[in-house]
Structure 1
Amino acid sequence: MTPTDASTEAGTDPAAGGADCADTLDLRLTDELVALLADGDGRAAVATDDLLDGVGGWEPATTDAGVFRLVPVRLERDLSLISRWMNDPAVAAFWELAGPEGVTESHLRSQIDGDGRSVPCLGVLEGKPMSYWEIYRADLDPLARHYPSRPHDTGIHLLIGGVTNRGRGLGTSLLRAVADLVLDHRPACARVVAEPDLRNTPSVSAFLSAGFRFSAEVDLPDKRAALMVRDRALRALL
């Protein structure tokens, strides 16, 4: 199972919503940003897997908050920052990856060294890493045992790294942008799904505001989750 939650705005007051069926680094990247977006030979870093259609090569998205890009994680560059985020109590309550860096490293390495069905990424907004994402094949994940999955269903997990970025609608804006990136670059994918913990009402609310619909409650081994779905067919309506 991929992580315990798609935590977006943990620790904030949720907006009411219906349904039908350690802070980030305080700097602007220069040379480091170049390293984020390119390999040593200067070419764009593109995932070699076919299962998720090269997440690392997806172009940036323009959002209300600025230009946003998904950048696949590199342990030597990103482990310390992501581990620090995982030790934020508001994040740890749902991701359950608090502790020494080795805890986060093990979680990341299992994806990086895997078969490409899950790609861990930094979310870089206006040149600044400020969130952590996992883009994964939900139909190939243990999650598929708990709901009527369809081929190429694509899942997302999210956490916002810095306290100052939570509770102001940023999670909603980025969720919509990333769901659009998935649908734009994965033509075989008809649905983007997520399974936030039902207790994390700010996260559920953010998904609803981003055009996802509440599909069902599902009992997973480590939580009771809200199955959230964004349908390609309803993309222009929600």
Structure 2
Amino acid sequence: MSFTFRPVEPVADAPVLHSWVSQEYARFWGMVSATEQDVVEEYSKIAESGHHQAFLGLDDGVPAFLMERYRPESSPLADVYEVQPGDVGMHLLVSPPAGAPQPGFTTSVMQSVMAELFVDPATRRIVVEPDARNHKIHVLNEKVGFRPHGVVTLPAVDPAEDHKQGLLSFCTREDFLATLTPILAAPAAATRGESL
């Protein structure tokens, strides 16, 4: 596995993104009934927002996951917690496996996403707010160092719902590095000029 990141191209990437977000496993993404054109419009809005960015994660050049980075102060989160300097919001959607699931793949994706977000020395803490019912992502989040803060009420993601109950969680750079083996942690620490 060799992951790289590139900005989402809304029109060109819509077919692959639609094939992911319209599946039942991605129901918490809120786009199960979306059309391909809905995906184009959503990711065009994100690209034009100035405070929200979407990236396609590639595994040896093949699309494997979607990562979104956003500024919490410009999002609905600003109404439910006191945003701190250096907070960066994140959303993650991993593609369905093309063949047999690879053990540890999703954890590797999450570690790569966290390392990518912490490359920026100004990033002090990653903020997530997955649906409180999404137990799989809560387990993954804790595995990479997130600590739950509490359930918050946010605007609905799913058009069939009135609101979203999200589990607000935070992960500092130190908490993330503490979850890595020394071999994995060395390059991440090096990005901030420290030795282990």
TM-score of the pair, normalised by structure 2: 0.79
User: Which amino acid is 2:117 matched to?
Assistant: V
The answer to whether the 8 Å contact 2:88/2:127 transfers is yes
Q: Which residues of 2 match residues 46-57 of structure 1 at below 5 A?
A: none
Residue aligned with 2:178, SS: coil
Cα distance, 1:150–1:167 mapped onto 2, change above 3 Å: farther
* Residues in 1 aligned to 2:102 and 2:24: alpha-carbon distance in whole angstroms: 16
1:192 aligns with 2:126: yes
Deviations along 1:178-237, whole A, 9 cap, x unmatched? Answer: 11221122x122101111111010011111111211122111122111112111243432
Aligned residue in 2 for 1:47: none
Residue aligned with 1:149, SS: coil
User: Which amino acid is 1:175 matched to?
Assistant: M
Aligned residue in 2 for 1:129: 63
Aligned residue in 1 for 2:153: 219
Residue aligned with 1:196, SS: coil
Q: Which residues of 2 match residues 83-162 of structure 1 at below 5 A?
A: 83-91=18-26, 93-97=27-31, 98-115=33-50, 117-162=51-96
Residue aligned with 2:177, SS: coil
Aligned residue in 1 for 2:159: none
Residue aligned with 2:49, SS: coil
Aligned residue in 2 for 1:19: none
Aligned residue in 2 for 1:71: 6
Cα root mean square deviation, aligned: 1.8
User: Which amino acid is 2:25 matched to?
Assistant: A
Q: Which residues of 2 match residues 17-28 of structure 1 at below 5 A?
A: none
Instruction: State the 4+ residue runs in structure 1 displaced beyond 6 angstroms.
Output: none
Aligned residue in 2 for 1:17: none
Structure 1 residue 123: Cα displacement: 0.8
Structure 1 residue 166: Cα displacement: 6.0
TM-score of the pair, normalised by structure 1: 0.66
Q: RCO (CA 8 Å, sep 6+): is it higher in 1 or 2?
A: 1
Residue aligned with 2:2, SS: strand
Aligned residue in 1 for 2:108: 173
Cα distance, 1:170–1:139 mapped onto 2, change above 3 Å: farther
Structure 1 residue 140: Cα displacement: 2.3
Structure 1 residue 152: Cα displacement: 3.0
* Residues in 2 aligned to 1:67 and 1:226: alpha-carbon distance in whole angstroms: 30
| Structure with the bigger percentage of helix | 2
Question: Quick one: percent identity of the two aligned structures?
Answer: 28
